[in-house]
Structure 1
Amino acid sequence: MSSMAGGKLVKALALTAGVALSFAPGRAVWADNITDAFIGAYNTSGLLEQNRALLRAADEDVAIALSALRPIINWTVAISSNYNRRNISDVVTRTDPNNFFTGLTLSQLLYDGGAAVLGKQSAQETVLSTRQTLVDIEQQVLFRGANAYLEVLLQEETVQIRLNNVDVSAEELRASQDRFDVGEVTRTDVALSQAQLASSQADLAVARGNLDTARAEYVNAVGKSPGRTAGQPSLPNLPSSEPQAVSLAQRNHPAILSAQHQVRAFDLIVAQQRANLGPNVSLNAFAGITETYDNDDNIEDGSVSLDFNQPIYAGGRLAASVRRAMATRDSSRANLLNVQKDIAQGVTDAYARFQAASASLRASSERVRASNVAFDGIREEATLGARTTLDVLNAQQDLLDAQLAEVASRIERSRAAYQLVQAQGLLTAERLGLAVQIYDPTLYYNLVKKAPAQVSRQSKDLDRVLKALRRD
């Protein structure tokens, strides 16, 4: 890959870092809708950074596997002291030469039955699998951001309902006190109203505590404190039927795609281990100079050899390696089946959850309407003496419960909708159209896939990339 591509990656990483800094805690930047929560979660997630680094490590495994196909050249310097004692025809001679050697050695694999190539191909499949794992992690990060936003919204609306209920309870207490003063009700009615107010105030305190907890989770998931929320988000595009949702998931979910690449990687490893049972041929050479300290003697030496090796017996290690690779491959195939089943079940569960939440919301809305009418009527009847204070308080509680249930149902419907999107494998920054610098995993891979030497231009591009990543 050219240095231009390396510069593009550096620029992309720098832009990503700049966006991330704009979401750092302490800056007066306020997210007020679910899209802002998505953006903050994507730009500030340490989990995403961790798995991007793991992907870069997998990229380097391809370069390491490729290096096995290239010549290995070493510069060697050795200082040695030898002791020789010879007894020839009753003549004993002793020598203590001190030698200095410097030279170059070269080793080039010529043939290994394709084992090195298979190792490289397996590493490439592992890279593709790790990329899909990164996409799955991205889904988890984005859903956590969405869930954090919805939880803040739920607790904010709950606090508002509880606050309104405190006001209504206070109003009912004043009404009971006024009616008691004129002898229309007893002190028991006043005590009931006082208890209702105290209960409402306690529930409000709990709701505010839950809101603080939700905001703390939002900071953790999104990277900043929430501002005033914009209300219920619009629902994402959803499939028209459960079979359609399952079909989309089987084609798109990154967990399935990752498992498929894992199976192919282990198939290649089995073939590689079998190739190791066969012969290999390598070219070996060295050239250097040996000098003796005791005198001015020096030897210029060099050799070239073509070495053929065929394993005959290695203590059972090679056969065990093949069987181990086969067992690991079989495990990955079973894992693929399990993942496919789990994803299908996850889609079914999410679809059913969305349908149930939608039905619950419709029923809750009707319950709120009816409870509101009932409360207004009972309170009016109480002023005429046809209803007791307890009747009014019970109607008030019924209305409160209906309002809380409606809010919870509406939040659950939105949560279930995004769970369904995630279950299909579609909850990604690119598909959501987020205004973020999308991380491109191919840029780094293209820089390292040909295993550039340390003195090459690509290696210098990599140095700049690592500096941008603050790994230097």
Structure 2
Amino acid sequence: MIKRNRFAAVAVAFVAFASPAAQAETLSAALTAAYNNSGLLEQNRALLRAADEDVALAVGATLPVINWSISASSSINNALPASQRAATNTAIAAISGSFTLYDGGTGRLAVDAQKELVLSTRQTLIGVEQDILLRAVQAYMNVRRDQEFVQLRESNVRVITQEFRAAQDRFEVGEVTRTDVASAEARLAGARSLLAAAQGALVKSMEEYNAAIGHMPSGAAAVSPAPVSQTVTEAKDYAVRNHPSVREVQHTVAAAELNIQRGEAAVMPSVTIDGSISTNQDSVEAGQIGISVGGPIYAGGQIASAMRQLIARRDAARSGLYLTMASVEQQVGNAYASLQIARASREASDRQISAARVAFEGIREEATLGSRTTLEVLNAEQELLDAQASRISSQADEVIASYAVLAAMGLLTAEHLRLPVQQYDPAAYYNLVKDAPPLLSEQGRALDRVLRAIGEE
């Protein structure tokens, strides 16, 4: 039942999509919907909030720790005669606290390292946003491409049907042979098969559109390529400085450097102050305060091993940065090459269509005079059809490639495209938690309200 209902929904969407009265959705509206409906964006925003909390945890580790406790006990001294035995009840309530006065800077470095990881995670979120918008562009243009393919195949079926009927009429008066009729009939069957394939491809594209954008398409309007004014060299220079993948790894390298400093500071002595106050069942109060100083002397080589491990991870992060920069440069070069190929293909297709149309119309006219065969007319029509299909495909490829250039440069974002969306502010939640507010503070209650609001969305 579920599969039949799903198929029926797709069929209804296809009929509505194919209807001339359907209101075509613009690319800007589709990208806006993709941004607003993306569960992947929501997932990575939650991961960013989790990274923000790592800063709060690191800050909290540098602040005083205060605990409370209540204990009660009852004891009997069996060494005494039975007549003298009595239960001794004890109850103690206590508050204790500790605070690290000096740790060689490890706490501060831990906070700084987590801040770098937050900045890295923010860049990851931008990268996800780019992927979502590029997928939406591809889905939109593939729907438009397949829509035009269906229209082209429908027109082809109509034209070949006319040629088939004309061949039959000419056969009946003896102007052509049965071979001409059979050729036209075979070509008509092939055209109908290709039309069915094009309709199936359109349904698949509509499903991808639904997955990428959040609803079934109502049609796809004509789209111009995104403006790309930089040369490929300028684009590469910009990308290696600003692409989110590069910035993400840069912050990862910075965090690795800070972790090495933390490892070096770990051998420094630490100074901690501890204190407590308690009262018992007799209201007798007691308190104590003390300072302890200590540090490692020997740990079986663990400290040295940890340092070497941190250095190795830093080196791996640096190598990852070089690899990422090279990959980004390659992506820019590939995107520009794809854009140039699509442009050249479109321009060539325009010239091919013009020539193929003249040839088709001339051969068809000559066939009415008996100097051309039906097969020659069908071949000329097929050349025109191929040229038109090539132009449709190259136009879609050009638009996709132009947006791929923006993505390769790190510019395929809602902000750069000026989409009418409520953009997510990655600093808003961070500013609420960065100082590790207590649960019952005003800031802590504000965080509870924010989380409840997020959960209700």
TM-score (norm 1): 0.88
The reply on whether 1:60 has 2:53 as its aligned counterpart is yes
Q: Note if 1:369 corresponds to 2:367.
A: no
Secondary structure of the 1:470 match is helix
Q: Give 1:141's aligned amino acid.
A: I
Does residue 1:279 correspond to 2:269, yes or no? yes
1:458 positional shift = 1.0
1:213 and 2:204 are equivalent in the alignment: yes
Amino acid at match of 1:350: A
Q: Partners in 1 of 2:253 and 2:154 — Cα distance?
A: 57
1:19-34 maps to which residues of 2 (within 5 A)?
32-34=25-27
Aligned to 2:16: none
Residues 215 and 225 in structure 1, CA contact (< 8 A), matched pair in contact too: yes
Q: CA RMSD in A?
A: 2.0
Question: 2:322 matched to which residue of 1?
Answer: 337
Q: Is the 8 A contact 1:30 1:226 kept in 2?
A: no
- Contact (CA 8 Å) 1:354, 1:416: kept in 2 or not? yes
Equivalent residues of 1:246, 1:347 under 8 A apart: yes
2:67 corresponds to: 74
Q: CA deviation at 1:83?
A: 8.3
Paired AA for residue 432 in structure 1: L
1:328 aligned residue: 313
**Any idea what SS the aligned residue of 2:334 has?**
helix
The one-letter amino acid paired with 2:55 is V
Q: Is structure 2 residue 241 aligned with structure 1 residue 256?
A: no
Are the aligned partners of 1:72 and 1:108 in contact in 2 as well (CA < 8 Å)? yes
3-state SS of paired residue (2:187): helix
Supply the distance in 2 between the matched residues of 1:362 and 1:96 (Cα, whole angstroms): 102
**Cα distance in structure 2, aligned partners of 1:326 and 1:353:** 40
Choose the corresponding residue for 1:450, options 435, 448, 455: 435
The answer to whether the 8 Å contact 1:263/1:333 transfers is: yes
The answer to whether the 8 Å contact 2:239/2:409 transfers is yes
Q: Note if contact 2:32-2:421 (Cα within 8 Å) is conserved in structure 1.
A: yes
Write the deviation string for residues 319-368 of structure 1: whole angstroms up to 9, x where unpaired: 22222211111111111111000000100111111111111111111111
Structure 2 equivalent of residue 247 of structure 1? 237
CA–CA distance in 2 between the matches of 1:384 and 1:258?
Answer: 71
- Equivalent position of 1:182 in the other structure: 173
- Counterpart Cα distance in 2 of 1:326 and 1:82: 56
| Matched residue, 2:3 | none
Question: Structure 2: where are the runs of 5+ without partners?
Answer: 1-21
**CA 84–144 in structure 1, closer or farther in 2 if over 3 Å, else same:** farther
Deviation at 1:235, TM superposition (A): 1.9
Specify the code of the residue in structure 2 equivalent to 1:375: F
Cα distance 1:82–1:371, how it changes in 2: closer, same or farther (>3 A)? farther
Q: 2:400 aligns with which of 398, 415, 430?
A: 415
Aligned pairs for 1:91-110 (under 5 A) are 98-110=89-101
Task: State the Cα deviation string for residues 202-245 of structure 1 (Å, max 9, x = none).
Answer: 100000000000000001100111112212x1222213311011
Aligned residues of 1:31 and 1:37 also touching (Cα < 8 A)? no
**Structure 2: distance between partners of 1:398 and 1:36:** 36
Deviates more, 1:417-426 or 1:382-391: 382-391
1:236: which partner in 2? Answer: 226
- Cα contact 2:246–2:324 (8 A) shared by 1: yes
Tell me the equivalent position of 2:142: 151
What's the counterpart of residue 119 of structure 1? 110
Is 1:196 aligned to 2:176, yes or no? no
Partner of 2:126: 135
Q: Which amino acid aligns with 2:313?
A: T
Given residue 62 of structure 1, which amino acid in structure 2 is its aligned partner?
Answer: V
| Contiguous gaps of at least 5 residues in structure 1 | 1-28, 87-92, 292-296
The structural deviation recorded for 1:41 is 0.7
Native 8 Å contact 2:144 2:219 kept in 1: no
Matched position secondary structure for 2:455: coil
Decide whether the 8 Å contact of 1:447 with 1:458 is kept in 2.
Answer: yes
Deviations, residues 121-166 of structure 1 (Å, cap 9, x unaligned): 0011111111111011100011111111000000000001000000
- Shift of the 83–309 alpha-carbon distance from structure 1 to 2, 3 Å rule, reads farther
2:15 paired residue number? none
Residue identity matched to 2:236? V
Selected match of 2:385 from 400, 407, 412 = 400
Q: In 1, distance between residues paired with 2:409 and 2:447?
A: 35
**d(CA) in 2 for partners of 1:459, 1:403:** 63
Structure 2 residue matching 1:358: 3-state secondary structure: helix
1:353 pairs with one of 338, 341, 351: 338
Q: Distance in 2 between matches of 1:110 and 1:85?
A: 47
- Residue 40 (str. 1) matches residue 33 (str. 2): yes
Alpha carbons 1:122, 1:264 under 8 Å: kept? yes
The letter of the residue matching 2:324 is: V
Residue type of the alignment partner of 1:230: A
The alignment partner of 2:230 has SS state of coil
Equivalent-residue separation in structure 2 for 1:263 and 1:96 (angstroms): 64
The 3 A distance-change label for structure 1 pair 442 and 158 is same
Q: Which amino acid aligns with 2:201?
A: N
- State the Cα deviation string for residues 390-446 of structure 1 (Å, max 9, x = none): 111111111111111111111111111110010000000001000000111111111
User: For residues 70 and 298 of structure 2, what CA distance do their matches in structure 1 show?
Assistant: 34
**Letter paired with 2:29:** D
**Identity of paired residues, percent?**
46
Structure-2 residue corresponding to 1:10: none
